[in-house]
């Protein structure tokens, strides 16, 4: 029972971050507002594209690790990649975003990623 939950959550998290990456590449300003720190219309486009590419690559890497290296490699990846939403929490707080977005989206994501890492280590 634990294995399908661990793998299913890992696949879901990786697909979700791929979606976020693609959204940042295709609709950067709307995505930035959803992230919690709206971007200026007259700037920041390159940084939004960088975020999109970063998220897309993390999601693809996670799926590749899960498919070809297994649960343990994916668990280590999830453990390390949890630093990203933790950092995003701080970024949102330091740049005028709301606590609700910082903790309700970014910190909660980090917790879910860490839970999945623990599940994958247990498989």
Per-residue pLDDT of 19-54, as tens digits, reads 999 999 999 999 999 999 999 888 868 989 999 999
Distance of CA 111 to the CA centre of its chain: 11
Q: What is the pLDDT of residue 11?
A: 98
- List the chain residues with pLDDT less than 70: 44
List the alpha helices (DSSP H) in the chain.
Answer: 2-26, 28-35, 45-68, 71-81, 83-94, 99-101, 108-122
| For the chain, domain boundaries | 2-122
């Amino acid at each position: 029972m634990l294995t399908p939950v661990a793998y299913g959550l890992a696949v879901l998290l990786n697909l979700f971050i791929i979606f976020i990456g693609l959204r940042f590449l295709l609709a950067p300003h709307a995505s930035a507002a959803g992230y919690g720190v709206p971007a200026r219309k007259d700037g920041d486009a390159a940084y939004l594209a960088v975020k999109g590419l970063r998220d897309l690559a993390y999601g693809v890497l996670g799926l590749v690790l899960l498919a070809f290296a297994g649960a343990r490699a994916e668990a280590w990846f999830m453990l390390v990649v949890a630093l990203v939403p933790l950092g995003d929490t701080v970024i949102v707080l330091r740049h005028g975003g709301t606590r609700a977005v910082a903790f309700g989206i970014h910190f909660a994501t980090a917790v879910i990623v860490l839970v999945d890492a623990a599940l994958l280590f247990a498989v």
